[in-house]
């Protein structure tokens, strides 16, 4: 009878993938991983190139201490570095955080000068952002009204976030760590056409017609029925 392998090592163009069996005990898994890594290190040359390692856990959950043990076994080989550990299982805390970050927060109000409106997920504002007012969201910002103040989308680092407004005349737009200040003619004209702001391939914030999002961010929103691009 063929023995089940608890550890499978596969080479890819991007490095190495370790597939770890999620049905065996952790101790059996750890022992086999150590043995296989040790066997491979026999053929390791002194000037071997550094290889990134992705560790696939499947439906196994590792405690932080166990994760560190697995990482240490991999790092024991001088040409291997752990790129990421991927698991289908997440903690209740992580699931709750992900739920909050993926929620759409609908608000009907006017954000006046000196006021700050903040959302952990996507923000859907039915109202205006006046000069001096600020709206902040970890996800996307949709404003069904005038944006004349400051909008900061993707504040925790989400560079795929966007800002959409019915009338886009902001004093400042920020997406993740990118900043776009208002043009010299800021506030002199109403555009009367829904526009969007996003980070382009050159790491600049671009303001364009809403229709471009159909190509750039086809799965951008979780609004029921989808978001109309016109």
The CATH number of the domain holding residue 198 is: 2.160.20.70
Report field, pTM of the whole predicted structure over 0.75: no
Structure token digits, residue 40 = 């491979």
Give per-residue pLDDT as tens, 46-71: 667 888 999 999 999 888 899 999 99
Q: Answer whether residue 224 shows pLDDT above 50.
A: no
Average pLDDT over residues 177-206: 76
Q: What are phi and psi of 146, to 5 degrees?
A: -90, 135
Q: Answer whether residue 222 shows pLDDT above 70.
A: no
Q: Note whether residue 153 is domain-resident.
A: yes
pLDDT at 3 (0 to 100)? 67
Q: Tell me which residue range forms the domain holding 50.
A: 7-89
pLDDT at 184 (0 to 100)? 54
State the burial class of residue 137 (Cβ atoms within 10 Å of its Cβ: 0-12, 13-18, 19+): buried
Residues 102 and 170 in one domain: yes
Q: Answer whether residue 210 shows pLDDT above 70.
A: yes
CATH of the domain at 27: 3.30.750
pLDDT at 216 (0 to 100)? 74
Structure token digits, residue 92 = 């209740």
Q: Note whether residue 75 is domain-resident.
A: yes
pLDDT confidence band for 140 (50 / 70 / 90): very high
Q: Note whether residue 230 is domain-resident.
A: no
Computed from CA positions of residues 91, 97, 101, 102, in that sequence, does the dihedral angle turn out positive or negative? positive
User: Across the chain, what does the average pLDDT equal?
Assistant: 84
Q: Answer whether residue 189 shows pLDDT above 60.
A: no
Residues 122 and 18 in one domain: no
**3-state SS assignment for residue 81:** strand
Neighbours of 139 (CB within 10 A): 26
Average pLDDT over residues 210-223: 68
Residue 164 near residue 210, CB atoms below 8 Å: yes
Q: Note whether residue 142 is domain-resident.
A: yes
Residues 67 and 15 in one domain: yes
Structure token digits, residue 213 = 């999002």
Q: What is the rounded distance in angstroms from the CA atom of residue 194 to the CA atom of residue 217?
A: 16
Q: Answer whether residue 141 shows pLDDT above 90.
A: yes
The strands making up 122-126's β-sheet, listed across from edge to edge, are: 104-108, 122-126, 141-147, 163-168, 195-199, 205-209
pLDDT at 214 (0 to 100)? 74
Residue 70 near residue 85, CB atoms below 8 Å: yes
Give per-residue pLDDT as tens, 11-49: 888 888 999 999 999 999 999 999 888 877 655 556 678
Neighbours of 63 (CB within 10 A): 9
- Count of the separate structural domains present in the chain: 2
Nearest Cα residue to 195 out of 221, 220, 165: 165
Among 89, 117, 139, where does a domain finish? 89
Q: Answer whether residue 143 shows pLDDT above 90.
A: yes
Residues 65 and 117 in one domain: no
Q: Note whether residue 124 is domain-resident.
A: yes
Residues 79 and 180 in one domain: no
pLDDT at 226 (0 to 100)? 46
Q: What is the rounded distance in angstroms from the CA atom of residue 40 to the CA atom of residue 52?
A: 15
């Amino acid at each position: 009878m063929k023995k089940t392998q608890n550890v499978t090592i596969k080479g890819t163009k991007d490095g190495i993938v370790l597939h770890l069996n999620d049905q065996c005990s952790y101790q059996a898994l750890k022992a086999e991983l150590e043995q296989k890594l040790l066997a491979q290190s026999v053929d390791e040359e002194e000037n071997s190139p550094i290889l990134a390692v992705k560790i696939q856990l499947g439906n196994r959950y590792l405690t932080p201490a166990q994760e560190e043990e697995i990482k240490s076994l991999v790092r024991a080989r001088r040409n291997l570095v752990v790129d990421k550990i991927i698991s289908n299982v997440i903690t209740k805390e992580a699931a709750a955080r992900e739920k909050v970050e993926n929620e759409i927060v609908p608000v009907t109000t006017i954000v006046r000068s000196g006021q700050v409106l903040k959302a952990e997920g996507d923000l859907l504002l039915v109202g205006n952002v006046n000069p001096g007012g600020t709206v902040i969201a970890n996800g996307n910002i949709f404003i069904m009204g005038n944006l004349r103040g400051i909008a900061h989308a993707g504040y925790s680092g989400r560079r795929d976030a966007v800002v959409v407004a019915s009338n886009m005349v902001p004093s400042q737009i920020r997406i993740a760590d990118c900043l776009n200040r208002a043009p010299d003619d800021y506030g002199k004209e109403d555009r009367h056409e829904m526009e969007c702001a996003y980070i382009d391939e050159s790491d600049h914030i671009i303001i364009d017609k809403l229709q471009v999002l159909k190509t750039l961010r086809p799965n951008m929103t979780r609004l029921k029925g989808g978001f109309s691009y016109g």
